[in-house]
Amino acid sequence: MSTAPSPRPSSDEALPPQAPAPARRGWAPLRPLILRLHFYAGVLVAPFLLVAAVTGLLYAAAFPAEKIVYAHELTVPVGEEKLPVSEQVAAARKAHPEGTVTAVRPSPEDDATTRVLLSGVEGVDETHTLAVFVDPYTGEVRGALEQYGSTGALPLRTWIDEFHRDLHLGETGRLYSELAASWLWVIAGGGLVLWFSRRRAQRKVRGTNGRRRTLGLHGTVGVWAGAGFLFLSATGLTWSAYAGANIDDLRTSLGGATPSLSASAGGEHSGHGASASAGEGGEGVGLDKVLAAARAEGLGDPVEIVPPADPESAYVVKQIQRSWPTKQDSVAVDPADGEVVDVLRFADYPVLAKLTRWGIDLHTGILFGLASQIALMLLALSLILLIVWGYRMWWQRGRGSTFGRPLPRGTWQQVPPHILVPLAAVVAVVGYFVPLLGISLLAFLAVDIVLGEIAHRRGKRSYAPTRAE
């Protein structure tokens, strides 16, 4: 019998029971915990993410589709000279005398119609307006459609937008999209950490079949799309119901609130001659002079003219181009004498306000137009594939005999206290600012504890993944 010393176990072999576990460095102590969180969050939150991805894909595609579906209302043959805006509004009011004019969007391009927006129209949702489309050369009314939001979404995009945001269930439905946005960055970030730590530890491992092949596809696509998911999650949370309010409060406390224009008429004759009909060119200086005053301040197309809300208010003319380069300057014009009483430049916005504006517009596919819409569709498709592959790996983990096998419990106990305590503090702070993440995380923990207790009482042993997993 040889007396030579036993060979040292390879990296893929388990250490003998009596040997102390090697000290873990860097991300190693956290890897089992991240693996468990990524697995269970992926399994339980994936249905919400799948709905968000499918509806987001449809929303990004709705922009070019809208131009095709509503081409008759949106475009006109190019004529010789455009009519004054007041005459175009008069033509719209002749065809649609109902409601009140709340805004006018003059034709921004040679082949584009003018939109006259009416509120208080019977049969139109109170949060929407009726957009009357007018040929700027002839005054012909080419149609009227319901419009939603500052981006001018028409019925097709509005329906998809609301489906993506709340599944047409109102405020209750918004919980789904906020839950998806709250967890997307956690799942994506955890996946990136797991993939790169695995790549370093498993460079010699090869395999192209079964679960390893699925894992390779899942990881590769996740790495390429990971930054995009983090961006979508962060920007999606900015206008969510609960986390969005906390983010707004934080941004305001840091001096990054979006500034507002003073819409009070400031002249000595302010309030005289201003009425609801001023927006239709009936009284006051009229729409044409108001638009001329805004042009003199450098406000180029596209713009929106908002009539005075009451006799003490001014006209507001604001640029509405949110594609690149962003044009968001606005001016207030006294309806009595046509003098500009306040100016707000986008260049003067705080940095955080600008970043918020750009982030939201990029998230919604507006900032770079078709390029960002294509990018969003690719991200949505990537997320759909990742979810499908993720569920496939869950099935493959159980070899098809059971629908998945559990990962080991108690992984948090393996994390050293000097890492676990600060980590718990960070999780508590994030859970406070992103409440649906915090609440659902506590729910996951409670369920896991209950399942663990049940398994313990039944004498079951948890499955421990191999190093290759």
Interior/surface letters 111-133, b for 16+ CB within 10 angstroms, e for the rest: ebbbbbbbeebeebeeebbbbbb
Question: What pLDDT, on a 0 to 100 scale, did the predictor assign at position 263?
Answer: 83
CB 408 within 8 A of CB 462: yes
Question: What pLDDT, on a 0 to 100 scale, did the predictor assign at position 186?
Answer: 94
Q: Is the four-CA dihedral 420, 425, 430, 436 of positive or negative sign?
A: positive
Per-residue pLDDT in tens (0 to 9) along the chain, 469 residues? 444 444 444 434 444 444 444 545 556 677 888 888 888 888 889 999 999 999 999 999 999 999 999 999 999 999 999 999 999 999 999 999 999 999 999 999 999 999 999 999 999 999 999 999 999 999 999 999 999 999 999 999 999 999 999 999 998 999 999 999 999 999 999 999 888 877 655 544 455 567 788 888 999 999 999 999 999 999 999 989 899 999 999 899 999 899 999 888 665 444 444 454 555 655 678 999 999 999 999 999 999 999 998 888 999 999 999 999 999 999 999 999 999 999 999 999 999 999 999 999 999 999 999 999 999 999 999 999 999 999 988 887 764 444 444 556 666 666 778 877 888 899 899 999 999 999 998 888 887 778 777 877 776 554 444 444 4
The amino acid at residue 384 is I
**Cis bond upstream, residue 422 (ω within 30):** no
**How wide is the angle at C-alpha 209 spanned by C-alphas 207 and 210, nearest 5°?**
120
Interior/surface letters 432-453, b for 16+ CB within 10 angstroms, e for the rest: ebbbbbbebbeebeeeeeeeee
**How wide is the angle at C-alpha 389 spanned by C-alphas 387 and 392, nearest 5°?**
110
The residue to which tokens 């946005």 are assigned: 181
User: Which two tokens mark 176?
Assistant: 């789904």
Helix (H) or strand (E) holding 275: none
CB 297 within 8 A of CB 365: no
Question: What pLDDT, on a 0 to 100 scale, did the predictor assign at position 198?
Answer: 72
Beta strand 340-344 pairing with 114-119: unpaired
Question: What pLDDT, on a 0 to 100 scale, did the predictor assign at position 410?
Answer: 62
Could you tell me which of 426, 449, 430, 448 has the C-alpha nearest to residue 439? 430
The residue to which tokens 């003998």 are assigned: 16
CATH 3.30.300.30 fits 71-153, yes or no: no
* Rounded-to-integer distance, Cα 105 and Cα 260, Å: 20
Q: How many CB atoms lie within 10 A of CB 416?
A: 11
Q: What DSSP character marks residue 411? A: G
- Predicted TM-score (pTM) of the model is 0.83
Interior/surface letters 282-297, b for 16+ CB within 10 angstroms, e for the rest: bbbbbbebbbebbeee
Domain boundaries of the chain, sorted by first residue: 35-59+169-252+370-457, 71-153, 259-348
CB 178 within 8 A of CB 12: no
Question: What pLDDT, on a 0 to 100 scale, did the predictor assign at position 396?
Answer: 79
CB 108 within 8 A of CB 301: yes
What is the three-class DSSP state of 466? coil
Q: CB-side exposure of 16: number of CA atoms within 13 Å?
A: 6
Question: What pLDDT, on a 0 to 100 scale, did the predictor assign at position 26?
Answer: 53
- Mapping DSSP onto H, E and C, the string for 358-379 reads HHHHHHCCCCCCHHHHHHHHHH
